[in-house]
Structures are given as structure tokens and as C-alpha cells.
Amino acid sequence: MIEWNFVEQNETKPIELQPAPEPAPESKSRGFWRDMLETILMAVVLFLILNTITSRVRVYNISMQPTLKEGNLLVVNKMAYKLGSPKRGDIIVFHYQGTMNEDYIKRVIGLPGDRVEVSGGVVRINGQVITEPYLADLPNYAGVWTVPEGDLFVLGDNRNHSSDSHDWGFVHQNWVVGKAVVIYWPLDRIRLLTSPNLVQAAP
């Protein structure tokens, strides 16, 4: 009679995990410089995009007080009027007389076709008094202007200390750089330049 001997091998040898080989110093260096180059390229692309759609300007005079003070830094949306049209109450930056040498910042009061009248300390648009809660003081001058097609009538919020459309006339819309949207400096003045700084016709 033949006897078969079966041997069970229940015990398994432990598998020894070998540590991953250290990357060569050259490989580490190449990875570092590649990451650095990608970061720099991304920063440059973001800067170019932001520079295309916005600009940063500093306020140098008192013509827009109390809304804007000397030294305030603003973000200007350069795409605002490529995608839409100016509205009464917008604060705009424009190249005066179309030159790049001198920028002005004022508030849009009259749109093309509007009849703007200043008298008795109030502004009327097409015969209707507008409310202006942002004014430093009421205008002490008078006049009547009809805004031509393609132009804007602009005034400073510091009415009696502002060189604007009541002095030198209208602003061509193709002189406009963009719409001021944010005060970002100083930090205690950070805010959006939106309502209630909008001109609204009184009922």
C-alpha cells in the first residue's frame, strides 16, 4: 500500500517593502525650476488679462469730494462700455480731449439727447430735478446744455471746485477709458462705487 504524504505550507514569508529610490539631485532641481517657470508664466498671464480689462488710477484733486478724496486708488473697468452704455451717475475716467497726457475723473450727468439745466442750486435733466446725495455743496452757477449724440455731460461732485462740462463742454464717448468701480486704497475707504452714488430722477 502506497502512502502519500501531503505537506501544507501555511506559513508565508513576509514581504519586505523596499523604500522608493531617492530621485537624483538633478531630477529634483529640474522639477523645482519647472514649477517655478510655470508659476511665473501663470502670474504673467493673469497680469496681462487684468491689465486688459482693468486699470488702476490715483485721484489727484478735490473735484470729486466727498465721494473720492486725494490719494484714493481706484479700479477702473475698461470693458464696461464695450459691453454696455454709460448711465447717469456712473463715475468715469477719460482722456481729456482724447490725449493720453491728462486723465479726468467725473460723474456722468447727461446722456446724448439730454437737456441739462443747472439753476437755483439744482440740476434738471429734461425738465426733471435729480437727487444727488453725494454732493459736497450745491452748484452756485447756472447754465443750459443739450448733449450731442456720442457725447456725455459730466460734473464733479465738488460742484463749485471742479473743472468739468459746465466749463469746457462735453466729453466724447470715445475718450472714455472706463468706469470706476472700486476704491481699494486706503484700506479704511475700500468700497464699491455703486448705489447710493447714482443719479436718480426725483418723482
Residue 99: per-residue pLDDT: 66
Residue 101: per-residue pLDDT: 72
pLDDT tens track for 31-55: 777 877 878 878 777 666 666 677 8
| Full DSSP string of 102-155 | -EEEEEEEE-TT-EEEEETTEEEETTEEEE-TT-SS-----EEEEPPTTEEEEE
For residues 151 and 112, the answer to whether their CB atoms sit within 8 Å is: yes
Tally: H helices and E strands in the chain: 2, 13
> What is the spatial order of strands in the sheet that 115-119 belongs to?
143-146, 115-119, 122-125, 128-131, 200-201
Short-list 83, 82, 64, CA closest to 74: 64
Nearest 5°: the CA angle 75, 161, 153 is 65
Catalytic residue among 13, 29, 63, 119: 63
Q: 175: which residues sit within 8 A by CB, 6+ positions away?
A: 94, 95, 96, 97, 98
Query: Which whole-number Å values give the CA distances from 2 to 7, 33, 150, in the listed order?
Result: 16, 73, 113
**What phi, psi does 144 have (nearest 5°)?**
-135, 135
pLDDT above 90 coverage of the chain, percent: 58
**7: pLDDT confidence band, cut at 50, 70 and 90?**
very low
Catalytic residue among 27, 28, 106, 162: 106
pLDDT tens track for 131-190: 898 898 999 999 999 999 999 999 999 999 999 999 999 999 999 999 999 999 999 999
Q: 142: which residues sit within 8 A by CB, 6+ positions away?
A: 118, 119, 120
Whether 106 is catalytic: yes
Q: Give the domains, in start order, of the chain with CATH numbers.
A: 55-201 (2.10.109.10)
Would strands 200-201 and 191-192 be described as parallel, antiparallel, or unpaired?
Answer: unpaired
pLDDT tens track for 100-141: 677 899 999 999 999 999 999 999 999 999 989 889 899 999
Q: Sort 49 into a burial class: Cβ within 10 Å, 0-12 / 13-18 / 19+.
A: exposed
Whether 63 is catalytic: yes
End-to-end CA distance of the chain: 119
For residues 162 and 156, the answer to whether their CB atoms sit within 8 Å is: yes
Segment 13-32 mean pLDDT: 63
